[in-house]
Structure 1
Amino acid sequence: MPYELEKRLVVGLSSSALFNLQEANEIFREKGEQEYREYQRDNQDKTLLPGVAFPFVRRLLKLNELRPSDPLVEVILLSRNDPDTGLRVLNSIEHHGLGITRAAFLQGKSPGGCRL
């Protein structure tokens, strides 16, 4: 459940830091966007493995257990995917039980200057 962001630690995080997207990124670079989209759709129910920031984010979100009704931390996922291909990321967040409730799928645009 999203909360107001005032009085919270807000962390923006890329999907490629949270999950290991190396295989998908190789497909994008070698075969192009259309093959990448098909690959992500075909694998949307296959859970992504943790990426380099995963352990940190999991520990950070554990702080919310101290104050469940008024969480201390809000992690916002920023992804260059579109919502359709980002479904695999959202499914993986749910599978891993991460309390991430906000995501911005930027459809190839840079997250710099993104207002959430």
Structure 2
Amino acid sequence: MAISSRALFDFEAENAVFEAGDAAGYMALQLERLEQVAGPGVALPLIQKLLAFNTEAAHRVEVVIVSRNDPVSGLRVFHSAVASGLRLERGVFTQGREPYRYLRPLRANLFLSANDADVRAALLDGFPAAHVYPDSMHAANAHPAEVRIAFDGDAVLFSDEAERVFQRDGLALFHQHEQAHSRVPLSAGPFKSFLEALHRLQQADAPMRLRTALVTARSAPAHERAIRTLMSWNIHVDEALFLGGLDKGPFLAEFEPDFFFDDQTGHCRSGAQVGPTGQVLAGVVNEA
């Protein structure tokens, strides 16, 4: 998987200098702090747990820093990674240019970034990608031997074809449509391939376990099509929450995910109050 430096470490103070238009000042600040270990970013616990699937006998997870940082600032990123116990060997630092272009040769299964433009470009190029909310609540440390990942359904695991019906015709006709198509699998969404990669990890004999959840605003009778779609892919999720429009935050607080992926801003803001969250900037609700 590919991850930006701001998703992995807390570079928000330094980024504020860059966003103010002072690129030279940003580079100087990073150079000044070269030996200073950066604080944990919102995705650090997820990366630590995923790397724990690697053993001496099997290398299952590769994490690559893909960043708009300059190469000198990249030294601080690697220094901070070592201090955090992360075994990272590869990095791409483009000094302001679009780093998503390197996802294809990296064969990335996931791209996490705090830059929404890079996320949109990666999604358009066919890669699972999410805009990390840097101010998300950090993951609880209650499950050190288990990775927990929660996904929304429409426009994330599934295509947005049903969401378009809802947006156009309203809830009643959406339910009629989904009931009539309950045995017709939904097309794949941007995160199907990432779920498949996680499913492979679940089969591994590793010291780390993996638990997944579908957390969706769907309710009966629209639930059936979602489950049957997963069945048609020969993939199961450990938990499925059909919330019928209820606030997702309290349910995510109980699941305690290491990361939650959703396409809608409201759900992401709710999720970010209880745990690490990334917005999948795809589908009809994210069209300009």
What range describes the TM-score normalised by the shorter chain of this pair? Answer: 0.7 to 0.9
2:98 equivalent to 1:110:
yes
Letter in 1 for 2:75: L
Partner of 2:44: 54
Deviation at 1:30, TM superposition (A): 2.3
2:14 equivalent to 1:24:
yes
Partner of 1:45: 35
CA distance in 1, matches of 2:59, 2:71: 26
CA distance in 2, matches of 1:69, 1:27: 44
- Structure 1 stretches of at least 4 aligned residues deviating more than 4 Å after TM superposition: none
Deviation at 1:69, TM superposition (A): 4.0
After superposition, residues 22-101 of structure 1 pair within 5 angstroms as 22-30=12-20, 32-64=22-54, 67-101=55-89
CA distance in 2, matches of 1:104, 1:112: 10
Deviation at 1:51, TM superposition (A): 0.6
Higher Cα Rg, which structure = 2
Q: What TM-score results when the alignment is normalised by the length of structure 1? A: 0.84
Deviation at 1:21, TM superposition (A): 0.8
Gaps of 5+ in 2: 107-288
Deviations 1:69-93 (A, max 9, x none): 4311000110101111211111101
Q: What TM-score results when the alignment is normalised by the length of structure 2? A: 0.35
Gaps of 5+ in 1: 1-10
Deviation at 1:45, TM superposition (A): 0.5
Letter in 1 for 2:25: E
Partner of 1:8: none
CA distance in 2, matches of 1:31, 1:79: 18
CA distance in 2, matches of 1:73, 1:31: 36
Q: Which has the higher contact order (CA 8 A, sep 6+)?
A: 1
Deviation at 1:26, TM superposition (A): 0.6
Deviations 1:55-106 (A, max 9, x none): 0000000111xx3243110001101011112111111011111011111111
Partner of 1:4: none
Q: How many residues align?
A: 104
8 Å Cα contact 2:66/2:100 also seen in 1 = no
Deviations 1:32-67 (A, max 9, x none): 011101100000101001111000000000111xx3
Root-mean-square deviation (CA, aligned residues, Å) is 1.2
